[in-house]
Structure 1
Amino acid sequence: MIKKAEFVVSNSDPSKCPKPERAEIAFIGRSNVGKSSLINMITGKKDLAKTSQKPGKTQLINHFMINDQWFLVDLPGYGFAKVNVKVKEGWENMIKTYLTKRSNLCGVFVLIDSRLEPQKIDLEFLLWCGVNGVPAALIFTKADKQSKTKTNQNVQKFLKKTEEIFEEAPDYFVTSSETGFGKESLLDFIDELVKEYESGALE
């Protein structure tokens, strides 16, 4: 359970992030996938992460301290709308450096819009995570925006595609920021990741 969530720092340079002394869980997804809304929903703070109708709002690596124990990290989206190529390349290099060099990163949640058929850009990003040993799990967002059947169909289609990339489908969660659906199981999973990291750090 998240009792306390505080913004700590924003960075464009991964080397200036807080010291890697605590477990860190990162959230990333395509522009406009509902990342800020999901972070606000799981932390129980309405305006912790800035939500925007304008895709590509998160342009920095944002660290939040959770329960004085671990870091939640809000990463810029990929597949940005309406930014020039140079800026886009800068963001992508920043994200890739962070994901591959951050020693205390114990989980990365890749957010997928449950209303859509499998998108090439999401699958390519997951493939990149797999090749680079980034510990990725999936969160399907916006489950309240359509019927349960339609959500399940899209989730299964996506998982089938991930099985073509990996030998087995990654862990996944179906969520709704509007209704809070999926919050408990997601927080339980994060709790396990943090505990696993901390017991490893003590050894």
Structure 2
Amino acid sequence: MIIKSAEFIISAVSAKQYPEEGLPEIALAGRSNVGKSSLINKIINRKNLARTSSQPGKTQTLNYYKINEEFYFVDLPGYGFAKVSKELRNKWAEFIEDYLSKREVLQGVIHIIDVRHPPTGEDCMMYDWLTHFKLPTLVVATKADKISRGQWQKHIKEIKVKMKLPASQQLVLFSKETGQGLPEITKWIEDVKKDA
């Protein structure tokens, strides 16, 4: 996938603000600080179009990035961050679920997990949601460079078992430092867009 253009379009908090030109959308879901923004930046080969933050829970809106005038990446608010109020967490959950269940141009979701830690209950719940809504999903285990190569399979197995991933579910190990996993991720994006 050759990136010719990438631009931030809008931070949306309700369906009224979503772009209306009908381009396909690919959402990125994951816990706070799991590396969603870093993955977007790596795919589009830009340092900081998607703002990365050392402060978890920073993304509180659906952030739309238009790529090649062809499709959107939609960065969803990170879930599972304890420092925001329960009320705000519930509000996020509501509009994320609303988006995932009703957005007709949504073609697929990249579900991001931190390979270093066992999946949380919220990771499992998000995957169950995606399965329930029958959304094409790519599971990406980030921060592969933070653990030794010899530990990769053990951690991947733990993710597969804990999240009850079927054998058909593609899981890609990714590192923003080395670019590992990038070809598989961009191929999945291309394939999902083709089906739009």
Q: Report TM bin, short chain.
A: over 0.9
Answering whether residue 126 of structure 2 is matched by residue 125 of structure 1, we say: yes
Q: In the aligned structure 1, how far is the partner of 2:58 from the partner of 2:119?
A: 23
Q: Which residue of 1 aligns with 2:93?
A: 92
Q: Which residue of 2 aligns with 1:193?
A: 192
Q: Which amino acid aligns with 1:189?
A: W
More helix by share: 1
Spell out structure 1 runs of 4+ moving beyond 6 A.
Answer: none
Q: Which residue of 1 aligns with 2:177?
A: 178
What is the identity percentage for the equivalent residue pairs of Structure 1 and Structure 2?
40
Q: Which residue of 1 aligns with 2:35?
A: 34
Unaligned segments of structure 1, at least 5 residues: 198-203
Q: In the aligned structure 2, how far is the partner of 1:137 from the partner of 1:39?
A: 14
Shift of 1:72: 0.9
Say if 2:113 and 2:140, in contact at 8 Å, map to a contact too: yes
Per-residue deviation, residues 129-166 of structure 1 (Å, max 9, x unmatched) = 22232332201000000111212211122113333xx6
Describe the SS at the equivalent of 2:150.
helix
Q: Which residue of 2 aligns with 1:145?
A: 146
Q: In the aligned structure 2, how far is the partner of 1:118 from the partner of 1:125?
A: 11
Say if 2:108 and 2:137, in contact at 8 Å, map to a contact too: yes
Q: Which moved more, 1:169-178 or 1:47-56?
A: 169-178
Answering whether residue 40 of structure 2 is matched by residue 9 of structure 1, we say: no
Aligned length: 195
Describe the SS at the equivalent of 1:22.
coil
Q: In the aligned structure 1, how far is the partner of 2:105 from the partner of 2:99?
A: 11
Shift of 1:120: 2.1
Say if 1:144 and 1:178, in contact at 8 Å, map to a contact too: yes
Q: Given the two structures, how large is their TM-score scaled by the length of structure 1?
A: 0.90
Q: In the aligned structure 2, how far is the partner of 1:14 from the partner of 1:178?
A: 35
Say if 2:123 and 2:163, in contact at 8 Å, map to a contact too: no
Say if 2:110 and 2:137, in contact at 8 Å, map to a contact too: yes
Shift of 1:81: 2.7
Describe the SS at the equivalent of 1:95.
helix
Q: In the aligned structure 1, how far is the partner of 2:52 from the partner of 2:94?
A: 24
Say if 1:100 and 1:134, in contact at 8 Å, map to a contact too: no
Alignment of 1:23-172 (within 5 A): 23-163=24-164, 167-172=166-171
Shift of 1:99: 0.6
Q: Given the two structures, how large is their TM-score scaled by the length of structure 2?
A: 0.93
Say if 1:79 and 1:121, in contact at 8 Å, map to a contact too: yes
Q: Which residue of 2 aligns with 1:201?
A: none
Shift of 1:20: 5.7
Describe the SS at the equivalent of 1:117.
coil
Q: Which amino acid aligns with 1:32?
A: N
Q: In the aligned structure 2, how far is the partner of 1:96 from the partner of 1:75?
A: 11
Q: In the aligned structure 2, how far is the partner of 1:36 from the partner of 1:42?
A: 10
Q: Which moved more, 1:169-178 or 1:39-48?
A: 169-178
Describe the SS at the equivalent of 2:27.
strand
